[in-house]
Each structure stands twice: as structure tokens, then as C-alpha cells.
Amino acid sequence: MSPSPSRHLALITGASLALLAGCGSSSDSGGDGSGAQAPVGSSKVAVVASTNVYGDIVEQIGGAKVDVTSIISDPDQDPHSYEANTQNQLALSKAKVVVENGGGYDDFVDRMLKSGGSSAEVVNAVKVSGKTAPKGGELNEHVWYDFPTVAKIADRIAAALGKADAGDAALFTRNAEAFRTQLTALEAKEAQIKKAHAGEGIAITEPVPLYLTTASGLVNRTPEQFSEAIEEGDDVSPRVLQATLAVFGDKQVKALVYNEQTSGPQTEKSKAAAVAAGIPVVPVTETLPAGKNYLGWMTSNVDALASALAK
């Protein structure tokens, strides 16, 4: 979902930053956006990630050698409408490495880095992916659902951490290799789905899961105008909504992959139509659910998709 022009980051005054700097910050390294950093004198690499998805990947690679702040970690929060604050700015000002999604998804990070004159090493996931918008279309910026891209991001994170902490560079590289091995297992699961269900139709509410479903050989049969309108936060026209609901009544799809994080009246109608037609609903989110790490989360997503298609 691309952020609307009306969502702007509030100006952060130098006085506010000075006040925060004087007050210090919590030592909690979690992802509540609090701007937590390692204690003074710590040898850990301070890292800020725009969401806990990237924060978790950093932790998988950096282990005990990193102190990670994830700005957005609430699975009930829409990252596109997030309003950054002075605590986020302070965390970014101390970071040696910053991991952002890019592609218009979390532009507030770039704005704060620029305004704060940061010298942090920045890993932009979309740039690392090499993905571009298709001709006449829009870029699907949800690249963390694309496992080959996440493997590249892991390598790039390892390199950035190694630059910040040369003494542990070999450790970061080994951890990235181990992480990539587990991603390969997820790609194998996608291949199994493709072998069993290639060409079968699915519906979506937004493009969030499309890298995963496409790699699994599935065809998105949702009218493009529907998912585009939902992604942009626009109303869906009655004609487009009717066409969307028809894919469930006509049994054109075997599952609805539903973004729980940005649901609304029109997506709820889509979900209700799927349930009424006996079509399984596979929920997905844009940030890590509580108690999950990236690999466990994605394993659950892929397994849920496979289970829905098998019904």
C-alpha cells in the first residue's frame, strides 16, 4: 500500500531533539519505537529497522552483537499511516545501520535520516531486490514476501554489520548463510504448492502476498481496480466490488489471501463472500505477529496457503 500524499511527517524541532538527548532513553532493545539503544560503552552495533520484520532479520544475523530498534512492531498498525516521532529520530541519529523497505512504503525513514544528517549505513530492501514497476503498473513494494529477495537482503545486512563491526564480520556472514539455508526450505515449500496447484486461482485484498502466491504458481483473479483502490485507501466502485464478489460466487478462486492489517468495509464484504461460498480465507499481515520470528511467520503463511488449497 502506498502512503497517501496527506500522510506527512510532523516537523521535529531541534529543541525537541536536544531535550530528548538530555533525558536519555530506555535500555529496552525491543520494537516499540521507543528509540532504545545499547548502554553507553556497549560494543553492540546500534541498528534501526523501519518494521519488526527487518528488525528480526537483523537479529538473526547479528545475534548478541546488535542492539535493534524496530520503529513499527504493532500487528494492528498500518505501517503506511505511521506518524514518526522525536524518539524515532533520536534512535536513527545513533544508529550505525538502518534497514528500511523503500519503494514508497516507509518514506518517513529517509526524511528523518536526511533531516538529522545521519551517516548510518542504509540497507534499502527494494533497491537490494532490483525490482521495478512493471510497464504501465505499480511496484509491489512488499518485497519481504519474496524469499530470493530476502536472501539478498540478509547478505546486505551482514555486509553492513561487518562494516560497522569488522571484528565480527565473519560471524555475520556465517549467520546470513544459515538464515539463507532456511529460506531455501521455504522456497521448497512454494515449489511443492506449485507442483500441486499451478494455475489455480486465488483472490487478494491487497498486493501484500503476491510474491509468495506467484512463486507458488497461483493466479491472482481479483479485479485489479479492487486491490488498487484498497491499497490506496480509496473507495471501491459498486461495479468493481460486484465483479470482485463474483469471483467467489463463481468459484473462480480456491482461497482468499486477506491482509488483516488494513481491513475495512469493502474487504470485509470480500471476506464474507468467500466464507459464504466455502472458500478458505488465509490471513496475512505486514508486520510480525507477537511471538513469531520471520522464518516461523513465513512458514506459517506458506503452510496455511497450502492447507487452504488442499481443501
| Domains, the chain | 14-184 (3.40.50.1980), 188-310 (3.40.50.1980)
Nearest in space to 282 (alpha carbons), one of 302, 297, 296, 268: 302
Helix (H) or strand (E) holding 258: strand 256-259
Beta bridge partners of 258: 283
pLDDT higher than 70, residue 54 = yes
> In percent, how much of the chain has pLDDT > 90?
72
Beta bridge partners of 256: 203, 281
Question: If you ran DSSP here, which 8-state letter would residue 287 be given?
Answer: S
pLDDT in tens, 243-293: 999 999 988 999 999 998 888 899 999 999 999 999 999 999 999 998 999
Q: How many other CB atoms are there within 10 angstroms of residue 83's CB atom?
A: 10
pLDDT in tens, 168-185: 999 999 999 999 999 999
* Strand 281-284 relative to strand 97-100, pairing: unpaired
Cell numbers for 18, please give them. 536536544
At residue 190, the pLDDT reads 98
Model confidence pTM above 0.95? no
127 in Cβ contact with 100 (< 8 Å):
no
